[in-house]
Structure formats: C-alpha cells, structure tokens
Structure 1
Amino acid sequence: MKNILTCAAAAALLGACATTPPPAAPAAPVAAAQPAPAKPVAAVVAPAPVLPPYKDPSNILYKERSVFFDFDNYTVKPVYNTALTAHGKFLSTAADIKVRVEGNSDERGSAEYNLALGQKRAEAVKKVLVVQGAKEAQVEAVSFGKEKPKAEGHNEAAWSQNRRADIVYP
C-alpha cells in the first residue's frame, strides 16, 4: 500500500509542476470574409405564347375584320383591299383554318330583303378572299340580315355600322 501512496503522491507532484504553454502569438488579422462574387444567373423567362395572327391584337387580321357597305349595296370598296388581301394570304397558308363571313344589314327593309342583301355582302367578301388565295372550302358565307346589329339606334350613324360583313375566325 505504501507503493500506491508513493505513486499517487508522485503523480500529484508531477501534475502540479506542469508548465503552462507559452501564450500563442496573436494571429494575423483576417480580412473580412468577402462573399463570393455572384455568378450571373440567366433569368428564366418563359417563352411568350405564340398567338396565331388572327388572335394577335397588333395584327391586321385581328384589327380589321369588318367590311362596311353603302346603303342597299354589296360592292366591296377599295379601302378594304389591304385587309382582305392579308386575310386571303393568311388563309392560303393555313389550310386547316376555316372562317365564316357574316353578312348584315341595317333595319330598313323587310326581313327577307335584308337576309338576301346580307348574303350578297357575305358572298362578295368571300369572293375577294378566294381571289386572294383562300380555298373555297375555307370560307363560309352566311347572312344575319338585320338580326345582329352592331349599333343600336335609328339614324345613319347606327345604320352605317350595321351594313357590314364580318370575318369570324374559330
């Protein structure tokens, strides 16, 4: 037991005599952590849906779909040539698209007369579209006579808006 006590005393003395390590030299100042330069990330932009020209508000096929007529007349005026040419050329390249030309008239005259006049107006516009490249089967001509007025009223301003043929896409 004496050996054990001697060993314990020696261990205690050696532990008490241990030298403390010298103080560490101050570390060199570290520069403030710089964030890594950001890599430019390409913005993910969803591609704009491609609209068919007849649904694009900036396209003539969308903006100019009505042909207006003089009283008791179904002759297409030259002012509509540009728009009708655009419609005809488009239809010539899009064989799967069909349009309806709806002929209309003002309220003056009998229902039968106005249906016939509306049909003549629709047929006149259809003829121009076919001459410009549309296929006969792509264009249907119908008449609504005085049943679908664009403008309400009983004066020339309203009547002139109702004497028309409208090109209607699907």
Structure 2
Amino acid sequence: MRTLIATLALAVPLLLAGCSSQPPAPEQPGAGVEDRKPTTVTTPAVTPAVTTGAIDPYSIAALKDPKSILSKRSVYFDFDQFVVKDEFKSLLEAHAKFLVNNPKMKMLIQGNADERGSREYNLALGQKRAEAIKKGLLLLGAKEEQVESVSLGEEKPACTEATEDCWAKNRRGDMLYSGEF
C-alpha cells in the first residue's frame, strides 16, 4: 500500500507539470463566408447550321476517285498493335469530315489481323483495331450512330503469302460506306 501511495505522490506532480501554466492560445477566426447570389447569365443567340441531311453527290464521287484521299480506305497497324499511326491521321480526318458533312452516311470498320496468333486472339485484336479507328473518327466529329466496328480477325486476308510484307498488308482496318457492305 505504501508503494501505491508513494507512486501516486510522485505521479500527481508529474501530471500537473505536464499541464501548461500558460493561458490557452486565442481562438483563430474562422474562414469568411462569401455571400453569393445567383446571377443570370446571358449568352448570345446561336443559330444552328442548316443541314438537309442529304448526301452530297460530289462527295460520293470522291469516295471512288483515286485522286481523292477518301478513296483510301485502309489503316495499317504494326505487329500486335492497335494504335493508329501518325501517318494515317490525315486519312481519318478526311473520312471524319466526310461523315460530318454527310450525316446520313454510315460506315462499317472491319478490323483485321494476320494469320499469326490464335483465332480468338486475332478476333480480339481485329476488334481493337476497328475500335481505334472508330474512336478517332468520333473524336473528329463523326456521330456514334454513323460508325460501326466489327472484327474479321484473320478471315479476310489481303495477302496469303507467309512473308512479313504480306502479313503487314493483313494488319489493317478497312472503312466501308453504306452500299459497300
């Protein structure tokens, strides 16, 4: 019992010494509250562009004209890749502009792969390639309802030789317009 009393006698002054004898710090003021009242925002009148939705026959002719960039319909990919290379950006821009100017036109993108890899892998890779082209077109202004993407995997080769040059021709995405699929 004596040890308990002695321990308490020593502990009480130590506990009291831990308490600061300094007065508490003054309370800091809180952050100010800004009074915000709703205001009306005026925006200038916007007149929508008038589109008839008709398909421009001159644009349609450009799809078949070998001198037009629109006659080029394939985007080629590196081995085992589905990123659109910089060299095909202008091609996507031209096709996106065509789709924007012809809102009734539809496009089917067929993703392809070379014969290497399993059937399932090539179908998945072909789909990723088609989706990469579709995403690029949508970012450039084409509408979702205008563009569909599918994978053909290795089922529609452009070339059948077992060479690197031939395989490179099969790693592609083909863009087909209404009436072509």
Same fold (TM over 0.5): yes
Does 2:65 correspond to 1:59?
no
8 Å Cα contact 2:59-2:98 kept in structure 1 = no
Q: 1:57 and 1:107 mapped to 2: Cα distance?
A: 29
- Aligned residues: CA RMSD: 1.3
How big is each residue's C-alpha offset from its partner over 1:4-41, in whole Å with a ceiling of 9 and x where there is no partner? xxxxxxxxxxxxxxxxxxxxxxxxxxxxxxxxxxxxxx
Does 2:154 correspond to 1:146?
yes
Q: Among residues 122, 125, 133, which one is paired with 2:141 in the alignment?
A: 133
> Partner amino acid for 2:99?
L
Instruction: Look up the SS of the partner of 1:107 in the other structure.
Output: coil
Q: 1:58, CA displacement in angstroms?
A: 2.2
1:97-108 matched pairs, under 5 angstroms: 97-108=105-116
What stretches of structure 1 of length at least 5 have no aligned partner? 1-48
Instruction: Look up the SS of the partner of 2:133 in the other structure.
Output: helix
- Which one has a bigger Cα radius of gyration? 1
State the TM-score, normalized to the length of structure 2: 0.64
> Partner amino acid for 2:123?
L
Q: 1:56, CA displacement in angstroms?
A: 2.6
> Partner amino acid for 1:88?
A
Does 2:167 correspond to 1:159?
yes
Q: Among residues 92, 96, 99, which one is paired with 2:100 in the alignment?
A: 92
Q: 1:137, CA displacement in angstroms?
A: 0.8
Count matched residues.
121
How big is each residue's C-alpha offset from its partner over 1:50-93, in whole Å with a ceiling of 9 and x where there is no partner? 5612123321111x211100111100001001110000011011
Identity %: 54
What residue in structure 1 maps to residue 50 of structure 2? none
Runs of 4+ in 1 over 2 A off after TM superposition: 55-58
What residue in structure 2 maps to residue 39 of structure 1? none
Q: 1:129 and 1:73 mapped to 2: Cα distance?
A: 18
8 Å Cα contact 2:99-2:105 kept in structure 1 = yes
Q: 2:82 and 2:99 mapped to 1: Cα distance?
A: 23
What stretches of structure 2 of length at least 5 have no aligned partner? 1-56
